Each structure stands twice: as C-alpha cells, then as structure tokens.
Structure 1
C-alpha cells in the first residue's frame, strides 16, 4: 500500500521515514509493535517503498509460525538477494553462511560466526547502497535468525543500515531496538478508512463494524467485506479480535474449490512456501495431478499471492484461519504429503513425518534423534532441542524418553535457556532414568547455575555422584560433575570439608591428568592447597601446542586461580585468538573477563580496560549474568587504582546487587577490595584498612581464600599509613603461613612489598632491597609500588639524593600504565626531594574509551579496518568511525602516527 494512502499513521510513518532518511549518517533499529491487523505490515511496506525511492536496497523477510523450528529459514529469506556477493567476505564467514543455509555441507562452527558473516555481508553491500532490512512478524522468526538479527542490531550504529521490524504485542521481538507502539485508529480515522472500503454498507452495519473493529484497520476492512455473508453483529463481543478476523477469512476459505483448499492447507503448513513443492504435495494429498490453476481461486479471494516461485499469504491471520478451519486429520495428511515429496531434504522430511502421526512411533522417533545432529552442525540448537523433545514424545520406552529429554536439556544449557532446561529436567525426572542419566540430570541442575550458590551439602552430593559415575566407567561425566562442584567452591566460600572432598575425588580419577578439566577443578576448588600440583601440571603445558580454545581457557583459569598471572595470561591470550577465530563469543567473554583481572594485576591497565569492557558486552550479548558481574567489579578496581574513588565506590555497590541475593563471596570480596583500593588512593588509609581486613577474615561474608591474595600489599600499606601496623602485621603473618603451603607468584610478589612497608626501620631497607632484587619484570605495577615505597622511605630518612632514582623509576611506570594518583604522589615526593624535572605527564591514550584503546592498538599494529572488525565483531565502517574519533583525542591526523603516539 502506498504510504500516502495510510490513514491515521502520520506519526508512525514519520518515525520510520526519519530512520531511513538519516541512514547515511547512522544506523537505526525500529520495531513496530501492536496487535494483529493493526497496520504494522502496511507501515513496513510504506517504509520499504520510501526507502527504494531514496535508492536504498531493501532486504525483506517474514516470520512464519510453522517455520519457527527450521534453522536460519528467516535469515536465508532475508539474504537470498545478496548471496551472489558472498565472495566479498572472508572465506571462513562465507562457509559459515553456506553451511547455515545448507548450500554447502559441513558444521556451523558457531552461531556467532554466522552472525558475524551476516554483518560483514550486509556491511559490504551497504558500501554501494544503503541497506534497509524489513522484517515482518518478528515473533515467528526461527531463533537462530532472531539471534543473528539481535547481533546485527547492536553493531550498526555507524553503518548505513536500518532495521525495521513488525512484531505482535506480547512477544520478545521488540527488544531488537526502539519500540514504536502502533495503536488502534481513533474514531474519525476508523470511519474514514471504513468509508474508503465499504461506503455502500448501511449505517447500521457501519456502526456495527466500527464497534467490533475497535480501531483495528484490518478488522475494519475484512469485517466489512464479511457483512454480505452475515451481519458482524452476530459475532459475540467477547470473542478476541484475531478470532473474529480468522472467522471472516474462514468464510472465504469454505467457499474455495476442494483442490484449492488442499493447496492452501499445504501452503499453510509448509514454511518454505515454494510453489513447485506446494503443488507436488497437494497432488499427493488430493491423489491426482494439480496445476497452478488450483491456486487461482485463493488469489481471487484475496487470501494469497503467488507466482512460479513462491506462494505468500496476504496476512498471517489468513494462514492461521486456514489451519483453524481444518481438522487435525487433515493437518496430519498435509504434513504426510509434504514428507512424501521431500526425499532430498532429510531433516524437513523427518520433521513433517513427525507432525503427521499420533501416538508412539519408534522409527520416526529414531529418525528425529538422528536429525538433531544435522541441526547442531548447522548451528541451529533450538531446532535440535525441538527435534529431541518431539523424539522423546514419540518414544515408547520411558528410559529412552528420559535420555532424549536430558540430551535436549544439555543443548538448552548451551543456549543459556534456564526456562527450557528446567522444563526438560522436570519432564525427565518422572521417567525411569538409568543411574548415569540420573547423574547427568544432577550435573545439568548444577552446571547451569555456573556453580552458584555454594552450599556444602550440594558440593558433597555432587562429589558422591561423580565418584559413582567414575566407578560406572563414565569419567567424562564425573569430570563435568566435579567441575560444577568446584565452581561452587570458587564463586562462594564453602567449608574446608567440601573443598577437600572435590579435590580428593578428582585426584582419584584414573587417566585424566592431561584433561584440562582435571587441573581446572583442582585449582578452583582448592586454589591454596592444590596450587603446587596445579603449577606442576601447568609447567608441562605449552600454550602454543594446545589447539583448542576451550582447553586453553581452562588452563588459563587454573593458572589464574592459583595466582600465576603471567602463565595465565599466556594461556588466555592464545585462547582468545582461537575463540575469536571460531566466533565462540560465550567462552570468549569468560576468557576476556579473566584477562581483565590478570592484566590489572600485572600492570597492563589499558589492556585490562579493553578486555573488561568487551567481556561485559559479550557476556550481556550471550546471556551470561554471572560473567557480566566480574567485569563490573574489575572495572571498579581499575577505577579505584586510577584514583577515581567516587566511580569505584559506585560500581562496587552496583556489583553487589546480585551477590546480595545469593552468597557469591567471590564478588563480595572483589567489591570490598575495590573499596579498599579507592580509600587508599584517596589517602583514607584507616578506612581502607577497615574495608580490606574483611577480605582476610574467614568469618566475614566478604572473605575469599583466593581473592585475599590480591589485597596483601594494599592491606599492608593501609595498616602502615593508617596507624594499624600491628593489626596489619597479624594479617601478613597469616599470609606468610599460606606462602609455605602455596607457591602462588601473586602472593609471593605482594608479600615482598608487605614485609618492607611494615618492617621496623632497622629491617626495612634490607627488605626493600631484597624485594627489588627479585625478578619483577612480569610484575611492573608491583615493582613500581615497591620502588615508590622505598624512595619515600629513603627521603623520610633524609637520604634525599638516594631517593630520587627509585622515585623516578616508579613515576615512569605509573605514567605508562595510567596510575595518575600514584604518579602525582611520586611527583610530590620527587619535588620534596629537590628534583625539579618532575613534570605533569603528557596526554596519554587513557583518554580513549576501552574499545577505542583496543582499536587504536590494532590499527597501530598495521591491521586494516576489516581485520579489526573481524577481531572485535564490528563492521569495518564502525571501526572507521571509532578511528575518526580517536585521532583528535590523540592529537594526530593520520593512521601512521598511531604507533608513535601510543608508545
């Protein structure tokens, strides 16, 4: 319909036209939301016409309810016009899309690689012409397509790409972007529309239609058309509007010739909508040859549009009306007919066969179970879940039903869908599960929560089930269960018995020492007592020889847990590269979150900020709430160390909102550390000590045995300068005892600082010198802190000349890493020592946002915008937009100046 012909939609059209008209300057996402028939489709059509008039390429797709279970069906529909341009994107991304669409055989390595490929393809197309994506009936899109669109919507701010959608009220499609509510027409506009289409109606009938339509444009038109078949006043007022519309369409359907009814029924249950396929299946259903002529009466009745390629329903309610008007037996017969003509598409054939039967059927159930493997290979996990669930329903054997439900639950866990996992586990729990499947169900209940909360009894129970699984020969399941139990120990702070039990059962497993889950379980369950074993195992693993990004993630987590930050960074950097390449964003977010902490400890604060910011964004994108808290807490710690105390305290409080609901001691400890750091940089040492001491107190909810290692030099400093020296010494004495148990490098280097700053004057210098004589090349932040403390000690003992060199060295590092408060303190000390050369630091890249820092570093290394975009899951144009903002911030004018400026 022409945009000018839409009555009463001036505001909605203006919003959509504005998004299209501004496309050259910025991307946008706008979703029209309203009840069926309210005019959403007409708005999309008008916006599409407007966009074409502005020389935009319009890519269109429509969600179909029966298509929800078919992976990437909507995406294929959307991208079909631009698939000839696939060669413009990297080969791995080309393959991802071809495999997703079944054009090429092979697994889809990840949904997010497919999403990145979609972003790359549309961005390439948009270089020549702006692209408007118009998606009708978002609520009926298959889930993989919906995920890809969500990925795209978050990344087109700087691209000439606009996404326009239409979604029914009450469905989640509206979360893609700005919501545009489409309400009923007011009385005057409703009357204008009715008179345009049904001026010949009597006044009584007009009033009846206006009353029942309640401002719904489609209802006004279709109910008016139904009047000759019976007055609309016969419809009960309590019938929902969509039902009344379906009845209006159904009146036309009943008048169609038999073969036309057969054809429209097949089209209604066939998501693909391909004309030759529909005619072939209709011939099977009818038992006689069928031609295009069979579709013509439905087109004349205004129900469908068709050509030699596709059959399209004029409105989703028409499809629904056809389905509702036929019996269950007819539905099943239509599905069986489609299955009969789909011999070259095994998955769809099996899917339609499964819809064509009632009651158990083990043959089809087995086929469905096998078909889920193909769905997983294509990255269509939700489709695999549906196939397994239907397969379970068709199975005659109860144990088989339970096994398939648990398989489906495992895939749902991979999607982060707690609701589906709970539903499937509940269904499986009433089936006669085998002992191993019972253990698998316990693991699913456990691992979905990332190991929270951490009560002792649950950890002991999981350890028992793991031991029994190992005895039954399933060490793989045992390792999964133990890793789940260990995560409970990590996030929370259970008793010593629970930690020891997890470690004991893990150590007793046969032939698993080389499995990364083994070392990770020991590390996160017992980071102090198992540190020697863990470090011994890790010392024999080279990051460069491990080809698996997930294995490297676990090795990195193990090294981080036992406080070997330099080794952790080696594993995590390598893991990041492999996970980026494979597009595994969920695991990548976890790796980046750990990297953020590790880099902060090591003094790479710019790298820490970049990793932390991206980790939080990806954790949100991939639905991992636990992994979005860690980056938030690390951001608080970073702000505190940089001297932004107000922001640090605000973020620390924000991060505690979830731990307040569940006992996640890890985050409580991290938040408390951030508070302590903030008070130290603000010069409030007594308050800092009171905040930090809680992390070291086993009776305090903020205590965490591993995280206390991060606060050792800070609690020592707070005690030394906050008149709490004796209390601080008692804490450090306990840490010395721990150091005899664990060789954690993080604890060792911080103790060197703590010993010196808390020592009496007659011992302090020797301890400072001993600390600085240690190889701290991988710990520049700790070394600079030690140099600063030593220089300060020397000046205050009137050894002014000697104090200048360590203070200068500390100042250089503080400036380099962006520790502004510490740099200012070092300058103050140097001036007090008579050094007039200490000046304010020059402009540094700290002024850039974390993502800008990341992009600037990559550009400085010579990477192109396209290469940077592939690494950060951004379009090349978005990268270019960031660089446009970066240059003036760094006071440079070209790309080749970046390396020098950043150095």
Structure 2
C-alpha cells in the first residue's frame, strides 16, 4: 500500500486494542476504503483474530436484514448455544420456519435484536478475538444498519468481549451510518507525492504526457490512478494524440469509473443534467493552466440537486457551482448523447460570441457539415492560440477548419498550416499524417509534404544532406510558380485561386521553406551547403523577407555578416510577446550568435513552461537550449546544467535526437568548464559518434570546443590546440565555422603554451582585422584579451587588458574576463613586482572559485601563491548537501558505480551522476577518488 501512514497507524491501534471497538471509514468512491479494510483484516489475522467479511449490495438494500444475515451467517452455527429468546429473535428475522410463523408481534425492536446479536458475537469471540469487516456499508438495508449501529456503540463497553466492527461507507451516498454516532476515520484522496508514487509503481513505463493527464484527472483517487492509464493508453494507441485525450471536457472513462457517478447523474432532472453538461463542456470550475482557452467559463445555475447528489460543490465565488471531481465532469459528458452535446455546444457558442477562442471551441464541436464561416473562425482562433502558448489547440482547430472547408484549396492550405504547427509542437508524425490526409491532386509532393518530411528527417534523424536537397528543390519549384503568377498578375489575371486565404499564401509557404533550409544549413556547418543556400536566396530578389535575411546572415557566418544585424536583433527583443514562439526562438538563435541573449532570456523564461506543456514543444526545447547558453555565459553554471539536463530529457522523450545531441554538447561544455573532465569526455564522445557520420558540423564544432575547454582546464595544452585547430586554422576564421570566433581564446592560449607564439599572435591579429569587436560584446572582450596575451610589450599588454576589462558588458562574461586577467597576471609576475601581479590574479582566482571552475581555480591560486599570498584550502560545505546527495556520496565513496547506486536508490545512472557533480564543489573536491577522505574529514569536524 502506498502512503496512508496515518490511516495504517490508526488501523494498527484499532486491531491491537484489547477491548471491543467499532470504526467507520468514510471517503468518496474509489478512494481506497476497501484496500484499507483489507489491510485491517490482514493485520487482524496476523494477530490471531477470526475475521468475517461482508459487503453491502445495492440490489439488496430494500430487503430487511439481508445485510445482517450476510454479516452473521458464518456465525449462526453458534446460535444453538444461545438462550431461547435470543435464538427465537434471530430465527424470526432470518426466516427460520416455525419461529417465523410464530412471530405475531411484528419485527423485533432494534434493541432486542441488537442484544441477541451481541450475545452471538460474545459466544463467537470466546476462543479468539473477532473482527467483523463490512464494505460498502451505505448499501446496507436500513434494518441491518440500525442493528449494526446499536451493536457498534456497545462494543467499546465490552458488551460482546473482544469483538471489533470495521465498516466503510461513501461520503456521497446517504446511509443510516451517517447518524449511527460511531467513531470515524476520514479517508481522503492520496497526497500528490503518494499518487505519483502509486502511478509510477503500477505503470513504470507510462509516458510523461499520459502520466500528467492521469494525475490531473485522478486527483489522488486510487481507483482512477489504477484504471485510467490502460484505458487512455489504448485510446492513444488508436492514433489519438496523448494531449488530445484530456481537455476542458475531461477524459473518456472506462465503465467502472463511469459507474461511480452514472447512477446519480441519471437520477437528476433533465434540466439539471443540461446545466451540468454545459458546465462540463465549458470547463466550469477547472483551474487555469498553460494553454487553456482564456475567458470566463459558463456558470451553472439551479443545480442544487446535483450538490445534494454529491456531484457538485459550491465554489469560492458566491453562487458558483463546481464539479466535485474531474471524473464527474468526464462522466457527465460521456453519458450525454451526441445530439445533446451538439446542442449544448451551440448554446455555449452563442453565449461566448465575444470570445474568439472559446466560441471557436464550441463551434468546432457543434458544426456537422462544411461551413466556411466557422472554418474561418477556427483559423483565426488557431493563430491567436499559437501566440499565447496554445499550439496544441491550434493544431486541433486548424484540422477541424480543414474538415469544414467548402473549397478544396482552403482545405489543403489549412491542413498544411496544421501540419506546420504540429511540426513545431514536436509532433512530426502527426504533421505527416495531416499532409497525407489532403485528397487534393499533387498533395503528396506539395511544399507542405516537403516541410513535414524534412522536419521529421532533420530533428529525429539528423539528416542534413538529403533534406537540404529536397527543401532546395521545393524552394526552386515554388519560386518559379510565383514568378509565373507575377507575370499573370501583370497581364491582369488573378494571382491566387478564388477563396485562398491571405494568412498563408504561397509567399508564406516559401518563407517557411527558406527558414527550414537555413536551419538545415546551420546544422550542417558545411561551407558548400551554405554557399548553395546563399546562391538560392540571391536568385529570389523580392521574395526573401527581411527576417529571413537576418537569419541567413547571423546563422551562417557571424564574423563576416553579423555586425550590421546587431541593432535589428536588439530592437526585436522589445516585440517578442507579439511573435509566434518559433519566431522568438529563431531570433534567439541570432541573439546567441551576437551575444545578446540576455535581452531575450526574461521573455524565454516567462513563456517556456507554457510552450513545453501545451504550446510549440519543439520551440520550447530550443528555448531551454538558449536559457542554458545564457546561464553558461553569465556564470550561472549549476542552473545551466539543470536546464540543459531538462532539455536532454525532453528531447529524448519526444524522439528529437538532434536536440538531444545538442543538449549533450552544451552539457559537455559545462562539464569542461567545471573541471569534470571525465563527464565532458563521455558526453563529447556521444555527440561525436552521432553527429560526425551525419555531417553535422554544428555539433562536431561544439564537441571540439568542449574538448579544447576540458584540455585547457586540465593543463593539456597540446590536446587543446589540436581541438581548437580542428575548428579553424590559426590566423584565419574558417567560413561558416560558427565556433571559430567563440574559441578565439582557446586557440591563442593553447598555441602560447605549446611554443607556437607566432600562430597565437597571428590569430589575435586576424580577429582584430576581421572586425570581431564590432560584432558582439563578448567578441570584443576576447579579441582584446587575445591581443593582450600575445603582445610583446608588457605595457601594451596592460593597456589592452584594461581596454578589455572596460568594455561595457565585460562583467557579463566573468569566465572570459577571469582568463584574461589570469594570463596577464602570470606574465606580470614574471617580469614585474608581485604586488602588480596580485592586482590581476586575485580577482581572477575569486571569479574562478565563485564560478566553480575547478582546474582554473587551482591554477589561479597557485599563481597567486607564487606572489606571496598564502594558499587557501577549499572550504567544504557539507551542511549544504541534501539527504539524497549525502546518501549518493556515501555509496560512491564505498566504491559503487553510478549504475549500482541507481539500482539501490531507484534512480537513473545519469541522475546519480548529476547529484555527484553537484556534491563535489560543496565538499571542496574535484574527483570521485577524493570523496571518502572529504566525507571522513567533515564527519570529524562535525564531532569536534
């Protein structure tokens, strides 16, 4: 049994009591009362009790004494030892022959019969204690319930010896136990943590989306937690997307769950059922969540009968009715006929005439045949929903709009739009299904089909080679068609087919293809692919948007083309709330290349959760990447690692293997920065093994960058040099190698430490001559830093370091600034006085220590010590370890592997590793081998 610690303790005390007792378990249907009764019975049997079980039956609730007979039947053999009067009373109520015929005075009184029952129980418990267990007491007939109440009230006084009565009743059904004045134990829904534990125990492989739906709908009800997953999983396996299984109307219920409320719903007056149906269809009483349709929901009226039936509660707002449980809402909808549901939807659509999205929701369900007006409303609602984080709803509305379209061209266009949004919602498979659903001639080779196929191939398979060819061909074809249309327009002929909406005309489709081609080119990192892309865009003057030109410049080669676009990217940050999520992330990529993600991050953090829950999930994963990158840049490395790990988990869950490799690359860089060389090496190897055979230069450059950083941190300068020149040769910046400017300091430092001073100086000068300081604040900082490191004259170097440190945004990049100060401080210590060196070395050491850059901290502290500053040992902070971190650290110190620790603690090896890496800086260590000594030392200090 999961959870229920308080209830189990109460039952244990109840069973252990030496005297008789009675206890009523009271809770809603499906809350687990029967399980607790079973638990109590098992405890009693282990303690040597005789246990008699019975259950109320609704079909027998009108039969006098039927329940009492079921409860006492196993004990009636002992009635022969009763006195004549008691035996005659039992025979009379249970219909035993002549005794029944001789009863002339009607049924016995509750007191008389109760005393007879007490005597029978006393005889039955003479040898060993007796426990009577009665489930579903609300269905017990009134006569039996009255007698049980009488008996229960006297058990505590020892009237029947060591006899206990344990009864369960439902809170939503009236019974005689409500007034029996017996001790009660309320049984509430499971706490959130226990509900999640129960669900994970019974359905360990349940998908994240389905798990969330089950937890939301069950709301701690154990029966729902156990019944819903299999039922909903079977619906999802029929092709219905998981997120579409639950909306404001609830979820489809299996028969057993529907039966919990069905009888009470059916017993209501028709007008009350109509009110409940309108409330259920409009989500009355549901809490707000990301992506939910905005606006006031329907307020049910004249529904007091439903409150009395235990189906509704009175909400916080006066006069407002709310459903007692999400399953009630689901049952109300499921029990209504299709005609009743359509009528309710139509009434709600009229009610919400002023709310675009809420009206669209109901019109979509109320309209049976083609209706262009309704289709147009749905299309407009989809656009509105996408901008506020409701891309999943937008896919549904656009698909429905296509079904209601009167013109085939409109149907094709809306299906294409639905597929486009589905691709961004991390549903590439659904996007392809939508495209295939288009019956129009030539739909199989349409731009929409190319987009859908390319999204799936790129993000799931990492295929940049064939997707580049396919998307380029589709662009060329559409470009030629648009030119033909333009010529027709100049001749006075109509340019578009009648009825074609302006929302996504051919120009917008072309833009979608162009942006996808730019993304493919960026991931390929191949100069040939980029040159072909730029040539194709140059062949379409007037057809390439300004935004696409911005992406083309900043995503391809920021060194050569980025500087003129810095101001437009800066200005765009002020208008992010007006953009669709994929446009936000595209601009975010440009901002990253221009080192101004800090302008975008506040908006990204505000909207990322809604996108991951109900919006453009793929865009949400890119937002996590961008938040990770900005946190890394500004020195928030622990938070960056958490965000990066979350991005990796989501990418794997959605099958976006390209994003998974990208997340691993960012995590590898973080591990390298923090001196976790082994982890950086393992992650980098995974990226390399997946990306290099696919020709994903974007990722292999990231892997080389992480390799260079890790090697520099551990003092292996030759390895760092080899990684750095794998990105670009010294003295130049390889075209379309986007990591080339970012690894400027890595190449310069590695070259200096390996005796290649000429190459280092040539590279620093190449950075200056390429105009890197004009491209971004970070590139300005590291260019001046590289020039300072390679300057022959110490005075010139000092001036250049000051120029670097005085850059307006220098403090925003603390790791780079500390590297520059460390390099110059070491140089000064060799040629000038120690005090001058300390001016640079002290802030560098403090910055590295604050960041948690283990290898760099050691080097800076050593250099500072050489100037006469006493060495300072790392200060462990064991008190900051969580219980789980301490347990994992203890197991790791004992020699267990991450896999073995995970098996013991029910964690994945990756989670174990993440906890360990957070533990190291708290203990002041950098390796696993140092764990045992660090833990022993902190224990000794704690004893002192």
Scaled to the shorter chain, the TM-score interval is 0.5 to 0.7
Counterpart residue number, 1:416:
426
Residue 728 of structure 1, CA deviation: 4.6
1:146 and 2:146 correspond: no
* Structure 2, unpaired ranges of 5+: 10-28, 41-187, 238-254, 272-307, 312-336, 350-360, 487-494, 496-504, 886-914, 925-944
Distance 1:835 1:402, change over 3 A: same
Distance 1:545 1:458, change over 3 A: closer
Matches within 5 A, 1:562-601: 564-565=594-595, 567-580=596-609, 586=617, 587-601=619-633
Matches within 5 A, 1:197-596: 275=266, 343-344=346-347, 362=370, 398-428=408-438, 431-432=441-442, 438-447=446-455, 453-455=463-465, 457-458=469-470, 460-461=472-473, 463-464=475-476, 467=479, 475-494=507-526, 495=528, 496-501=530-535, 504=538, 508=542, 513=546, 519-541=550-572, 543=574, 550=581, 552-561=584-593, 564-565=594-595, 567-580=596-609, 586=617, 587-596=619-628
Distance 1:848 1:526, change over 3 A: farther
Higher RCO structure (Cα 8 Å, ≥6 apart): 1
Counterpart residue number, 1:785:
819
1:839 and 2:903 correspond: no
Question: TM-score, normalised to structure 1's length?
Answer: 0.54
Distance 1:423 1:808, change over 3 A: same
Residue 676 of structure 1, CA deviation: 1.5
Distance 1:846 1:832, change over 3 A: farther
1:666 and 2:651 correspond: no
Counterpart residue number, 2:845:
811
1:437-486 CA distances to partner (integer Å, 9 max, x unpaired)? 94444444445556754345446446546756696775544433322122
Counterpart residue number, 1:8:
none
Matches within 5 A, 1:11-90: 17-18=1-2, 49-50=34-35
How far apart in 1 are the matches of 2:199 and 2:635? 47
Candidates 770, 774, 783, aligned match of 1:751: 783
Q: Is the 8 A contact 2:704 2:723 kept in 1?
A: yes
1:770 and 2:800 correspond: yes
Residue 538 of structure 1, CA deviation: 3.0
Distance 1:835 1:661, change over 3 A: same
Question: TM-score, normalised to structure 2's length?
Answer: 0.52
SS at match of 1:528: helix
Residue 503 of structure 1, CA deviation: 6.0
Residue 646 of structure 1, CA deviation: 1.0
How far apart in 2 are the matches of 1:24 and 1:476? 63
Distance 1:349 1:275, change over 3 A: farther
Distance 1:125 1:548, change over 3 A: farther
Distance 1:417 1:278, change over 3 A: farther
* Structure 1, unpaired ranges of 5+: 1-16, 26-43, 56-123, 176-248, 250-266, 281-306, 311-333, 355-360, 853-881, 892-903
Candidates 710, 717, 722, aligned match of 1:690: 722
SS at match of 1:344: helix
Residue 649 of structure 1, CA deviation: 0.2
Distance 1:388 1:49, change over 3 A: farther
Distance 1:52 1:809, change over 3 A: farther
How far apart in 2 are the matches of 1:753 and 1:713? 8
1:583-639 CA distances to partner (integer Å, 9 max, x unpaired)? 658344422312322332344434433443444345456664433333321211111
1:372-431 CA distances to partner (integer Å, 9 max, x unpaired)? 877898898778757766776787865454334324323432432222222332343863
Q: Is the 8 A contact 2:559 2:770 kept in 1?
A: yes
How far apart in 2 are the matches of 1:160 and 1:787? 61
SS at match of 1:529: helix
Distance 1:161 1:819, change over 3 A: farther
Distance 1:397 1:713, change over 3 A: same
Distance 1:362 1:570, change over 3 A: closer
The worse-fitting range, judged by mean Cα deviation, of 412-421 and 340-349 is: 340-349
Q: Is the 8 A contact 1:372 1:383 kept in 2?
A: no
How far apart in 2 are the matches of 1:686 and 1:890? 31
1:640-690 CA distances to partner (integer Å, 9 max, x unpaired)? 122111111011112334424532211111111111211121211112211
Distance 1:371 1:51, change over 3 A: farther
Candidates 626, 644, 647, aligned match of 2:658: 626
How far apart in 1 are the matches of 2:821 and 2:376? 65
SS at match of 2:793: helix
Q: Is the 8 A contact 1:335 1:352 kept in 2?
A: no
Distance 1:545 1:395, change over 3 A: closer
1:286-305 CA distances to partner (integer Å, 9 max, x unpaired)? xxxxxxxxxxxxxxxxxxxx
Distance 1:144 1:840, change over 3 A: closer
1:328-360 CA distances to partner (integer Å, 9 max, x unpaired)? xxxxxx867875787536768975885xxxxxx
1:764-801 CA distances to partner (integer Å, 9 max, x unpaired)? 55134313333233332222111111111122336434
How far apart in 2 are the matches of 1:432 and 1:475? 19
Distance 1:735 1:23, change over 3 A: farther
Distance 1:560 1:387, change over 3 A: closer
Counterpart residue number, 1:185:
none
Distance 1:160 1:593, change over 3 A: farther
How far apart in 2 are the matches of 1:49 and 1:132? 20
Distance 1:22 1:674, change over 3 A: farther
How far apart in 2 are the matches of 1:625 and 1:845? 38
Counterpart residue number, 1:262:
none
How far apart in 2 are the matches of 1:375 and 1:22? 48
Q: Is the 8 A contact 1:527 1:706 kept in 2?
A: yes
Counterpart residue number, 2:672:
640
How far apart in 1 are the matches of 2:635 and 2:198? 47
Distance 1:704 1:629, change over 3 A: farther
Distance 1:703 1:572, change over 3 A: same
Counterpart residue number, 1:63:
none
1:141-162 CA distances to partner (integer Å, 9 max, x unpaired)? x999837427879x99xx9999
Counterpart residue number, 2:76:
none
How far apart in 2 are the matches of 1:22 and 1:173? 37
Q: Is the 8 A contact 1:596 1:631 kept in 2?
A: no
Distance 1:400 1:499, change over 3 A: closer
Distance 1:416 1:841, change over 3 A: same
- Work out which of the two has the higher radius of gyration on C-alpha atoms and give 1 or 2: 2
Distance 1:279 1:661, change over 3 A: farther
Residue 828 of structure 1, CA deviation: 1.1
1:841-893 CA distances to partner (integer Å, 9 max, x unpaired)? 434799779x99xxxxxxxxxxxxxxxxxxxxxxxxxxxxx9xx99x9799xx
Distance 1:723 1:664, change over 3 A: same
How far apart in 2 are the matches of 1:507 and 1:607? 44
SS at match of 1:656: helix
